Chain A
Protein backbone atom coordinates (compact mmCIF):
# COMPACT_ATOMS: atom_id res chain seq x y z
CA UNK A 1 0.00 0.00 0.00
CA UNK A 2 1.09 3.59 -0.60
CA UNK A 3 1.53 5.45 2.68
CA UNK A 4 0.55 9.12 2.83
CA UNK A 5 2.18 11.29 5.48
CA UNK A 6 0.92 14.76 6.29
CA UNK A 7 2.64 17.51 8.21
CA UNK A 8 2.11 19.20 10.48
CA UNK A 9 -0.58 17.22 12.28
CA UNK A 10 -2.04 20.51 13.49
CA UNK A 11 -1.40 24.21 13.22
CA UNK A 12 -2.81 27.41 14.66
CA UNK A 13 -3.37 30.44 12.49
CA UNK A 14 -5.35 33.65 12.41
CA UNK A 15 -7.99 34.85 9.99
CA UNK A 16 -6.18 36.43 7.05
CA UNK A 17 -3.02 34.31 7.41
CA UNK A 18 -1.64 32.17 4.63
CA UNK A 19 -0.78 28.54 5.41
CA UNK A 20 0.85 25.63 3.60
CA UNK A 21 0.15 21.98 4.36
CA UNK A 22 2.39 19.23 3.10
CA UNK A 23 1.81 15.63 2.08
CA UNK A 24 4.36 13.00 1.16
CA UNK A 25 3.71 9.71 -0.59
CA UNK A 26 5.81 6.63 0.16
CA UNK A 27 6.34 6.13 -3.58
CA UNK A 28 5.80 8.18 -6.72
CA UNK A 29 2.15 8.82 -7.58
CA UNK A 30 2.57 11.23 -10.51
CA UNK A 31 -0.18 13.79 -9.92
CA UNK A 32 -2.83 11.41 -8.59
CA UNK A 33 -3.27 13.41 -5.42
CA UNK A 34 -6.46 14.83 -3.94
CA UNK A 35 -7.03 17.23 -1.05
CA UNK A 36 -10.16 17.16 1.10
CA UNK A 37 -11.55 19.47 3.77
CA UNK A 38 -13.59 17.98 6.59
CA UNK A 39 -15.54 19.77 9.30
CA UNK A 40 -16.92 18.00 12.40
CA UNK A 41 -20.00 15.93 11.63
CA UNK A 42 -19.63 16.37 7.88
CA UNK A 43 -18.35 14.28 5.02
CA UNK A 44 -15.01 15.17 3.45
CA UNK A 45 -15.30 17.76 0.68
CA UNK A 46 -13.04 17.55 -2.39
CA UNK A 47 -11.01 20.74 -2.80
CA UNK A 48 -8.20 19.84 -5.21
CA UNK A 49 -7.80 16.89 -7.57
CA UNK A 50 -4.92 15.85 -9.81
CA UNK A 51 -2.61 17.70 -7.42
CA UNK A 52 -3.42 21.18 -8.69
CA UNK A 53 -6.90 21.28 -10.25
CA UNK A 54 -9.47 23.25 -8.30
CA UNK A 55 -12.75 21.41 -7.84
CA UNK A 56 -15.77 23.33 -9.11
CA UNK A 57 -17.17 25.75 -6.55
CA UNK A 58 -14.05 25.83 -4.37
CA UNK A 59 -12.68 29.33 -3.65
CA UNK A 60 -9.52 30.34 -5.48
CA UNK A 61 -7.67 30.96 -2.20
CA UNK A 62 -7.09 27.20 -2.20
CA UNK A 63 -4.32 25.90 -4.45
CA UNK A 64 -2.34 22.70 -4.79
CA UNK A 65 1.07 21.87 -6.17
CA UNK A 66 3.51 19.01 -6.46
CA UNK A 67 4.15 15.83 -8.36
CA UNK A 68 5.78 12.51 -7.64
CA UNK A 69 6.05 12.18 -3.89
CA UNK A 70 5.78 15.69 -2.44
CA UNK A 71 2.68 17.85 -2.48
CA UNK A 72 1.46 21.08 -0.93
CA UNK A 73 -1.94 22.60 -0.23
CA UNK A 74 -1.81 26.36 0.16
CA UNK A 75 -4.56 28.50 1.59
CA UNK A 76 -4.07 32.22 1.13
CA UNK A 77 -5.89 34.54 3.51
CA UNK A 78 -7.63 32.08 5.85
CA UNK A 79 -11.34 32.69 6.32
CA UNK A 80 -13.37 31.64 9.39
CA UNK A 81 -14.97 28.80 7.44
CA UNK A 82 -11.54 27.35 6.56
CA UNK A 83 -10.81 26.12 10.07
CA UNK A 84 -11.16 22.37 9.61
CA UNK A 85 -9.14 19.21 9.07
CA UNK A 86 -7.47 18.66 5.70
CA UNK A 87 -6.63 15.25 4.25
CA UNK A 88 -4.53 14.27 1.28
CA UNK A 89 -5.34 11.06 -0.59
CA UNK A 90 -3.74 9.21 -3.48
CA UNK A 91 -5.75 7.83 -6.39
CA UNK A 92 -2.70 6.39 -8.22
CA UNK A 93 -3.33 2.80 -7.20
CA UNK A 94 -5.61 0.68 -5.06
CA UNK A 95 -6.05 0.48 -2.18
CA UNK A 96 -6.75 4.20 -2.21
CA UNK A 97 -5.11 5.68 0.89
CA UNK A 98 -5.44 8.85 2.95
CA UNK A 99 -3.04 10.84 5.05
CA UNK A 100 -3.63 11.26 8.77
CA UNK A 101 -4.86 14.83 8.37
CA UNK A 102 -3.80 18.34 9.34
CA UNK A 103 -6.06 20.17 11.73
CA UNK A 104 -6.13 23.93 11.14
CA UNK A 105 -7.20 25.72 14.29
CA UNK A 106 -7.92 29.33 15.13
CA UNK A 107 -5.10 31.07 16.98
Chain B
Protein backbone atom coordinates (compact mmCIF):
# COMPACT_ATOMS: atom_id res chain seq x y z
CA UNK B 1 0.00 0.00 0.00
CA UNK B 2 1.40 3.39 -0.99
CA UNK B 3 0.03 6.88 -0.54
CA UNK B 4 1.44 9.99 -2.20
CA UNK B 5 0.42 13.57 -1.50
CA UNK B 6 0.53 16.15 -4.27
CA UNK B 7 -0.31 19.80 -4.53
CA UNK B 8 1.12 23.32 -4.41
CA UNK B 9 3.89 23.96 -1.93
CA UNK B 10 2.96 27.63 -1.54
CA UNK B 11 -0.45 29.17 -0.98
CA UNK B 12 -1.29 32.81 -0.39
CA UNK B 13 -3.14 33.93 2.74
CA UNK B 14 -6.95 33.86 2.40
CA UNK B 15 -6.74 31.46 -0.54
CA UNK B 16 -7.61 27.74 -0.67
CA UNK B 17 -5.20 24.90 -0.04
CA UNK B 18 -5.92 21.86 -2.21
CA UNK B 19 -4.11 18.55 -1.92
CA UNK B 20 -4.53 15.17 -3.56
CA UNK B 21 -3.64 11.77 -2.10
CA UNK B 22 -2.94 9.13 -4.73
CA UNK B 23 -3.49 5.62 -3.38
CA UNK B 24 -1.89 2.52 -4.90
CA UNK B 25 -1.85 -1.07 -3.77
CA UNK B 26 -5.21 -0.84 -2.03
CA UNK B 27 -8.75 0.04 -2.96
CA UNK B 28 -10.20 3.21 -1.55
CA UNK B 29 -13.46 1.26 -1.16
CA UNK B 30 -12.58 0.20 2.37
CA UNK B 31 -10.99 1.74 5.49
CA UNK B 32 -10.80 5.30 6.74
CA UNK B 33 -8.79 7.84 4.71
CA UNK B 34 -7.38 10.69 6.76
CA UNK B 35 -5.51 13.93 6.47
CA UNK B 36 -3.12 14.90 9.26
CA UNK B 37 -0.79 17.86 9.52
CA UNK B 38 2.31 18.65 11.53
CA UNK B 39 3.68 22.06 12.34
CA UNK B 40 6.37 22.99 14.85
CA UNK B 41 3.93 24.95 16.92
CA UNK B 42 1.11 22.42 17.21
CA UNK B 43 2.61 18.97 16.75
CA UNK B 44 0.49 16.35 15.00
CA UNK B 45 -3.07 17.44 14.28
CA UNK B 46 -5.75 15.23 12.76
CA UNK B 47 -7.71 17.22 10.18
CA UNK B 48 -10.43 14.70 9.34
CA UNK B 49 -11.29 11.55 7.46
CA UNK B 50 -13.57 10.08 4.89
CA UNK B 51 -14.91 6.57 5.46
CA UNK B 52 -15.21 4.25 2.50
CA UNK B 53 -18.98 4.77 2.60
CA UNK B 54 -18.40 8.44 1.84
CA UNK B 55 -19.15 9.64 5.36
CA UNK B 56 -16.84 12.41 6.56
CA UNK B 57 -15.76 13.55 10.02
CA UNK B 58 -13.73 16.69 10.62
CA UNK B 59 -11.79 18.14 13.50
CA UNK B 60 -14.08 20.78 15.03
CA UNK B 61 -11.13 23.17 15.15
CA UNK B 62 -11.08 23.23 11.34
CA UNK B 63 -14.57 22.05 10.44
CA UNK B 64 -15.80 25.32 8.99
CA UNK B 65 -12.93 25.42 6.48
CA UNK B 66 -12.32 21.76 5.57
CA UNK B 67 -13.70 19.45 2.91
CA UNK B 68 -12.47 15.92 2.28
CA UNK B 69 -13.73 14.13 -0.80
CA UNK B 70 -12.94 11.06 -2.86
CA UNK B 71 -12.73 10.03 -6.51
CA UNK B 72 -13.22 6.26 -6.52
CA UNK B 73 -12.56 5.97 -10.25
CA UNK B 74 -9.06 7.33 -9.73
CA UNK B 75 -8.46 5.80 -6.27
CA UNK B 76 -7.68 9.25 -4.90
CA UNK B 77 -8.94 11.44 -2.12
CA UNK B 78 -8.64 15.15 -1.58
CA UNK B 79 -8.25 17.88 1.00
CA UNK B 80 -9.57 21.37 0.59
CA UNK B 81 -8.85 23.99 3.26
CA UNK B 82 -10.24 27.47 2.69
CA UNK B 83 -9.19 30.89 3.94
CA UNK B 84 -5.71 29.79 4.93
CA UNK B 85 -3.43 31.81 7.20
CA UNK B 86 0.21 31.45 8.18
CA UNK B 87 -0.97 29.17 11.00
CA UNK B 88 -1.85 26.59 8.33
CA UNK B 89 1.77 26.24 7.28
CA UNK B 90 2.65 22.61 7.94
CA UNK B 91 3.62 19.26 6.52
CA UNK B 92 0.41 17.60 5.37
CA UNK B 93 0.09 13.81 5.41
CA UNK B 94 -2.55 11.49 4.04
CA UNK B 95 -3.06 8.11 5.68
CA UNK B 96 -5.17 4.94 5.64
CA UNK B 97 -6.52 3.35 8.79
CA UNK B 98 -9.02 0.95 10.28
CA UNK B 99 -11.15 1.41 13.41
CA UNK B 100 -8.26 0.76 15.80
CA UNK B 101 -5.36 1.88 13.62
CA UNK B 102 -6.76 5.18 12.40
CA UNK B 103 -5.54 7.59 11.33
CA UNK B 104 -3.00 5.38 9.77
CA UNK B 105 -1.23 2.08 9.40
CA UNK B 106 -0.02 3.46 6.08
CA UNK B 107 1.03 7.09 5.58
CA UNK B 108 2.21 9.19 2.67
CA UNK B 109 5.63 10.80 2.87
CA UNK B 110 4.09 14.21 3.53
CA UNK B 111 4.14 17.46 1.63
CA UNK B 112 5.16 20.84 3.01
CA UNK B 113 2.68 23.61 2.38
CA UNK B 114 3.74 27.14 3.22
CA UNK B 115 1.24 29.96 3.50
CA UNK B 116 2.87 33.21 2.52
CA UNK B 117 2.26 36.23 0.34
**Interface residues on chain A, size class:** 20 to 34
Q: Which residue of B lies closest to A53 (CB)?
A: B100
- Residues of chain A from 12 to 40 with CB closer than 8 A to chain B in the complex: 32, 34
What count of chain B residues pass the 8 Å CB interface test?
A: 23
The 8 Å CB contact of A89, one of B44, B57, B60, is B44
The 8 Å CB contact of B46, one of A50, A97, A100, is A97
Of A41-49, A60-68, A69-77, the segment with at least 4 beta carbons within 8 Å of chain B is A41-49
The 8 Å CB contact of A44, one of B44, B59, B102, is B44
Q: How far is the CA of A87 from the CA of B103 in the complex (A)?
A: 13
Interface status of A95 (Cβ within 8 A of chain B): yes
Determine how close the nearest CB of chain A comes to the CB of B103; give it in whole angstroms.
6
A-B contacts, 8 of them at CB < 8 A, read: A42-B109, A44-B44, A46-B101, A49-B101, A89-B103, A94-B59, A95-B46, A98-B45
Which 5 pairs of residues, A with B, have the shortest CB-CB distance? A43-B107, A96-B46, A98-B44, A95-B59, A49-B101
